Amino acid sequence: MKEHLYTIPVNEAFDHGDGCPFCRLFENLEKTELDLILGASMMEPEVRQITNEKGFCERHFAKMIAGNNKLGVALILESHLESLKSGLKPGGVFARDISAKSRERIEKLDSSCYVCDRIDEKIGKMYETAAFLFDEEKDFRRKFDSVGFICLPHYRRLLEAGARVLSKDGYSELARAANGKINAYLSELKDDISLFCKKFDYRFDDLPWGNSKDSVERSVKFLKGAKK
Ligand SMILES: [Zn+2]
Ligand SMILES: [Zn+2]
């Protein structure tokens, strides 16, 4: 078997069995990146240059603020705001429009995040590693079949990675296995949600809840994954 980048974390995530393994990888990467940005990387000038430029998404600002280093967040913000002061050029007072430069800068800020970009870079390689492992290792296929589910956003990213790195046959097998998982979990969720709805009708008071009690939360996890 060829050694691939990220073989170890990908295998570990699939060993767990419950939940989406890619959500687990995402959460681990996110935790590492948040620890780094408010710890070892915080004062590095080259990192500061990137955080000044990219800023953070709402989710990651919130997570940073909820951490235990608010001074660290403030120091990052201090230079981020300073860089925005020189980057934003108010104007267009008479043209009834924001200046083109400001618009471009704000649009960029709206869609960029230092932490998200760092996670994306690594998790992108992890989808590829998972596709390779599925193709090459019988043992990994067994793990793949036994994970709880793969959420929809990560299912898409996995198949995109598979299409990039696998042969036509290899991709077909991965797609077949992944589609099987998605279809089975969709049916299960749909049944659980229907039962959940029924339980609000007094005529079904005696019907057991089965697995339906947390079906609303599980449906959202399946639809949205760990990311937002
Ligand atoms: Zn996921
Ligand atoms: Zn983010």
Point out the ligand nearest to the CA of residue 155.
1
Walking along the chain (228 residues) 10 residues at a time, the average pLDDT comes out as 83 91 96 94 91 96 94 95 83 65 87 96 96 96 94 97 97 97 96 95 91 94 83
Distance between CA 224 and CA 201 in Å, rounded? 29
Tokens of 199: 């339980």
Q: Does a structural domain hold residue 88?
A: yes
Alpha helices in the chain (DSSP H): 7-15, 21-37, 45-54, 58-66, 70-87, 100-111, 114-136, 138-146, 152-165, 168-198, 215-224
**Residue 47 confidence (pLDDT):** 95
Q: Does a structural domain hold residue 195?
A: yes
**Residue 228 confidence (pLDDT):** 44
Domain ranges, residue 155: 7-224
Tokens of 222: 């399946």
CA of 225 to the centre of ligand 1 (A): 4
Distance between CA 153 and CA 174 in Å, rounded? 16
- Residue pointed to by tokens 């339980």: 199
Q: Does a structural domain hold residue 2?
A: no
Q: Judge if pTM exceeds 0.95.
A: no
**Residue 104 confidence (pLDDT):** 85
Provide CB contacts within 8 A for 169, sequence distance 6+: none
CA of 133 to the centre of ligand 2 (A): 28
**Residue 1 confidence (pLDDT):** 56
CA of 219 to the centre of ligand 2 (A): 23
Counting the structural domains of the chain, the total is 1
User: Is 92 exposed, middle or buried (CB count within 10 Å of its CB: 0-12, 13-18, 19+)?
Assistant: middle
CA of 153 to the centre of ligand 1 (A): 6
Point out the ligand nearest to the CA of residue 25.
1
CA of 214 to the centre of ligand 2 (A): 27
Point out the ligand nearest to the CA of residue 151.
1
Q: Does a structural domain hold residue 1?
A: no
CA of 75 to the centre of ligand 2 (A): 18
Residue 53 burial (CB count, 10 A):
15
Q: Does a structural domain hold residue 89?
A: yes
Point out the ligand nearest to the CA of residue 27.
1
